[in-house]
Amino acid sequence: MSTVLLSVNQLSKSYGGRRAVDGVSFQVKHGQTVGLIGPNGAGKSSTVSMICGLLRSDGGSVELEGQAMAQGQNGAKLKIGLVPQDLALYEDLSAIENLKLFGALYGLKGALLKERCAQALDMVRLADRAGDKPSTFSGGMKRRLNIAAALLHEPRLLILDEPTVGVDPQSRNAIFDTLEALKARGMALIYTSHYMEEVERLADHIVIIDHGKVLADESPADLYRRLPAQAALRAELAQPLPPARLAELLAGLRGLPGVSGVSELGRAGSAAASAGPDSAAGARLEGAAGPAGAGGPVLEIGLAATAHAASVLAWLDAQGCALQHFATARTNLEDIFLNLTGRSLRD
């Protein structure tokens, strides 16, 4: 079992009368990737700043391998690499000159500094652009160089604050490849992002913060179990049904094994049914469409697991209900995030 690398204990921070961070606690183990997510203003940035020792907390503590993190100079800080959301690069220096400057700030020099710079550029796939200035780079290349700068001192923990903001899909995948390679080498990561699919891909543990408090501190699998349905099936019936027959059908569906809920979304082909509200599972639905045209009711069926979809479809067929279209999907991290934090806009 992995040992604890970072311990965050009851961190708190207020700005004036507003409590931005309110008793935040979680741990990061060696080799673990923790997704730290929350709405705008949830307290993520303040928490990250206190973990790095850049912001003084009002209460609580941060320990890295048992060593307390302080705001002043200390050895624990040298075990952390920070990739800030705002790019920290000198546009008029070449990529290699940027890295030599940051490496010197970490106390690196001579042959070791040269070796670390080369390794970092190779890791982020910028070795062939070492002599070029960031002013000539794309946004994704600048983000990758920003990551390289945080790797020079070989930190035990790498913290990335929104590292893919404004980058193209190719650069995003290159960043993912880099982070997965670092994790394979045993480096621990804290990854903050508003892109739920990124956290879902990278993280093996997730911490959700809102209003300065920890709402969840669990593995993705445990988070998925929080919702009553783990998947959903949307079935568009080919023919309209009389109200009594529809009520009978809905009652029968609710009694099937693995079905956690059933709702009628409207008529197939109608605007409401095409857009559809969030499902009982909150899952996004995808599938192959059947013939177009107005049809019968559109049913959304919450499932304990996607595997139950086959038996539900077989039951509908036995009831003589021909389908115009059906689709399935499982619950994803965005569904859980919205379920815990709400759907109100955060500006």
Q: Are strands 323-330 and 259-267 parallel, antiparallel or unpaired?
A: unpaired
Task: Check if the beta carbon of residue 306 is closer than 8 Å to that of residue 281.
Answer: no
- Give the model's pLDDT for residue 336: 77
pLDDT at 267: 77
Which parts of the chain have pLDDT scores under 50? 271-293
Q: How is residue 57 written in tokens? A: 């907390």
Q: Please report the pLDDT score of residue 268 as a whole number.
A: 64
Cα distance between residue 5 and residue 27, in whole Å: 8
pLDDT digits (tens, 9 = 90+) for 277-328: 344 444 444 444 444 445 799 998 988 888 899 999 999 999 999 999 998 8
pLDDT at 279: 40
- Give the Cβ contact number of residue 115 at 10 Å: 11
- DSSP code of residue 7: E
Give me the percent of the chain exceeding a pLDDT of 90. 60
Question: In percent, how much of the chain has pLDDT > 70?
Answer: 88
Q: Is residue 271 within 8 Å of residue 317, measured between CB atoms?
A: no
Please tell me the distance from the alpha carbon of residue 193 to that of residue 213, in angstroms, as a whole number.
17
pLDDT of 277: 39
Instruction: Please tell me the distance from the alpha carbon of residue 47 to that of residue 280, in angstroms, as a whole number.
Output: 33
CA distance 12 to 202: 27
| Rounded Cα gap, residues 187 and 184, in angstroms | 7
Instruction: Give the CA count within 13 Å in the CB-facing half-sphere of 44.
Output: 26
Q: What is the pLDDT of residue 253?
A: 95
Residue 261 main-chain phi, psi, to 5 deg:
175, 155
CB atoms near residue 315 (< 10 Å) = 16
pLDDT at 256: 95
| Closest residue by Cα to residue 296 from 238, 234, 233 | 238
Given this model, what pLDDT does residue 245 score? Answer: 93
**Alpha carbon distances (Å) from 96 to 116, 147, 150, 235:** 11, 13, 14, 57
Domains identified in the chain and CATH numbers:
4-224 (3.40.50.300), 231-330 (3.30.70)
The helix/strand/coil state of 87 is: coil
Residue 110 in 3-state DSSP?
helix
pLDDT of 253-266, one tens digit each? Answer: 999 999 988 988 88
| Distance, CA of 17 to CA of 232 (rounded, Å) | 44
